[in-house]
Structure 1
């Protein structure tokens, strides 16, 4: 095992966390496994993140930043396209998505996480405001796309819906929010 000094240990550990979560979910990761995957001693991840919650907090913050970027790319396209971007993000960044909305896995009061979550939330709210000014309509819109993303990721949908997530998400969003 090499010492914890690494060109970009933070990135290496986060990449290792993405790989580990992709393989066996967020509950199954350990700092020892992440260190092994990153090719460093156990002290490396501890030095940078403190503990498993620190790694998952950083991963959740990164996920919210990536989500905000994906939603911002849709600009003023309205809820349907923001919803499609949300589903696409969930599929392309599954490990992040699995951690982001699980507050028991990370530190909810972390400043970077809060800032990233607020930025993504503002963009989600903006997209949902094209549906209605009612805050509950925004929650309904988000719930629809979040639920669809989870159903897609778990393979719970009929096979014909599993062919193209963008097309399916767009069709589902248009049923309730034309």
Structure 2
């Protein structure tokens, strides 16, 4: 990602520039084409302000945070931008697949009946879409969407995996044997 850093009322620091460029590199996995980031770091009395503008993939996302520590402000604004990018990308995916128009087409559970000796037991069948991603990205996706499990294709092994939330709050991963 092409990054330009501007300092206002603050001495230019190569360490801050490298910190920001390293943090912004994690957004490359969300953008299909190379993006451009304009960063403005400023200090007003005791407030440290970080403002980031990311342009790429028909997106123009702006975030601004102010705290008493510049590094904390940078981390907070980048977390905010990551949420915005994921939300925007999800909207684009839903529009392309047509999910927004026809809600009954995908994702609606359908009932299949399984007969047992003592009676009838219902099995709910739900069709889901899964996409290739890393385990780290799947964990971030689970944090954004409050589900108990996530089915995805592992980008490294090209196999279907299931990430689930355990009762103790940690995550579990189910992988097929090679």
Common topology (TM > 0.5): no
- Between Structure 1 and Structure 2, whose CA radius of gyration is higher? 2
TM-score (norm. length: structure 1): 0.27
Which has the larger helix fraction? 1
TM-score (norm. length: structure 2): 0.27
